[in-house]
Structure 1
């Protein structure tokens, strides 16, 4: 039986020591295989992972560590159970994601990692040095058995901090980001790349377009401005807004949606209705739903179009 869904809601200062990484996996003629790394410094077998750099988000850390240690350009899949234990500096938490290798060939850096091995989950349990590393593996294997391991993410973001309504006298559609919002948008571009989106569907109002612009400029996704995602349209015709949003729940393209706080109560029921198991418990259910510049990721199984197996929320950059 598939275990309870993992929900991730991460703040940067949630623990004394925070690290992140992933279980890289692939399918072979012999079934599911996972990638173990050997670290010569500790003479142990583990998953690729490492501590956050200053100013880095947890997903960014996971992607960077996987790239640096084994040369894999990761697109983060479903979140896996995190592990927690005491170290000399205090409480340490390590966050993990599933990462499908595809056709990529691991290339250990030779310093932190000198060997890698593709092994079965059973063999991985035998080799893992830290027994707490088995928990995310158990979840990953159960997700594969349930047909929920291979997923496509839908990344939902609320526009970054905007100039206050009370200080804006021109048309609402033209209200721009505040200076802090532009800084949030620049940081958001780095976070969005963790899921490697190829499309953006955004409200055409200025503050939403400006929020995704740094990511669009750097990554060149296909961009679509959707009038149904504006505050006005959602208020006048919420059914149309929901129908347009529901079209994004197709595991074909990795899409970023950018919208407004007042539209969240209209689109969240679509996500909740698509949720499998208890995953909907991870969704926000009270105003403001998402803080400006925050990200909610919905993971859609390739084997079950239109459904969602896991959610995760990441807090925005604040300077």
Structure 2
């Protein structure tokens, strides 16, 4: 049996003025994008944001995804690196970064100079791809609620049907994923299973939870869904919309997208620029 790939994640971070963020690793004497291995059980999106913070001191939000890199890693193993574009949230000054044995220089580099400075040809390919989608975007995350009590086993109002323990674990696991896209607006069906799915994120971040009857199975209409989606598409904040399997086709129809048929705790990230969809990606929390 072939050994499993080593998994890592990184971000091509841009700022205004044609600048891209690079790091120098003294151990290898190379210049590359901030990246690193996934911790056990860690989702690649969370790892990408964490690694940028550890290697540069900057907090970033993820933009459109890029093609993964895959190359030999020694000992007969291969390495897969998941990449996204990204933008800094807050101050982008790296002059105060405490250099160390792993990273001894962090620099904002002109994108043309970056091609010269990057050590590996595959990083140049990633930068070319990133430049095509480097313009600032924000994310609308469409989320299906986590695993809930079965309808047959629930004798009460279905609106009050809660998550099971596995669903509660999924809700906790969603916190770093939503944070990776800088979600600051949380909109959910008013049904308990949806509200419970986003509650850990709200409790962690302090953002307001907006409950919408018009996203519930009982009360959703094409008009109510379109109203909510249209408001989020034309807002200027990163947002999550949590709803139910029967309602989600109307959500995707309002976005002009094909329904990806999300599983419980599945999320579909829509990257928007000026109200237009420029990229999408799907993730699953187990």
For Structure 1 versus Structure 2, the TM-score category normalised by the shorter chain is: over 0.9
Give runs of ≥4 in structure 1 deviating > 3 Å. none
Deviation at 1:314, TM superposition (A): 1.1
Contact preservation (8 Å) 1:83, 1:93? yes
1:307 to 270, 276, 280: 276
Name the structure with the higher strand share. Answer: 2
Give the match's secondary structure for 1:42: coil
Deviation at 1:89, TM superposition (A): 5.1
Correspondence 1:98 to 2:82 = no
Contact preservation (8 Å) 1:17, 1:89? no
Q: Where does residue 9 of structure 1 map in the other structure? A: none
Q: Over aligned residues, Cα RMSD in angstroms? A: 1.6
Correspondence 1:115 to 2:105 = yes
Correspondence 1:201 to 2:181 = no
Deviation at 1:27, TM superposition (A): 1.3
Tell me how many residue pairs correspond in the alignment: 279
Q: Where does residue 166 of structure 1 map in the other structure? A: 152
Q: Where does residue 6 of structure 1 map in the other structure? A: none
Correspondence 1:129 to 2:115 = no
Give the match's secondary structure for 1:232: coil
TM-score, structure 1 as length reference:
0.83
Distance 1:55 1:89, change over 3 A: farther
Residue deviations 1:215-264, cap 9 Å, x none? Answer: 11110112211111011223xx2232223222111251111111111111
User: Structure 1 unaligned runs (5+)?
Assistant: 1-14, 274-279
Contact preservation (8 Å) 2:6, 2:37? yes
2:13 to 9, 17, 24: 24
Residue deviations 1:138-164, cap 9 Å, x none? Answer: 1222224xxxx2011111111000001
Residue deviations 1:189-228, cap 9 Å, x none? Answer: 1221111211111000000011111111110112211111
What is the 5 A alignment of 1:146-185? 149-185=135-171
Q: Distance in 1 between matches of 2:69 and 2:121?
A: 10
Q: Where does residue 12 of structure 1 map in the other structure? A: none
Correspondence 1:292 to 2:261 = no
Deviation at 1:76, TM superposition (A): 1.2
Deviation at 1:81, TM superposition (A): 2.3
Deviation at 1:284, TM superposition (A): 4.5
Q: Distance in 2 between matches of 1:74 and 1:308?
A: 21
Correspondence 1:268 to 2:252 = yes
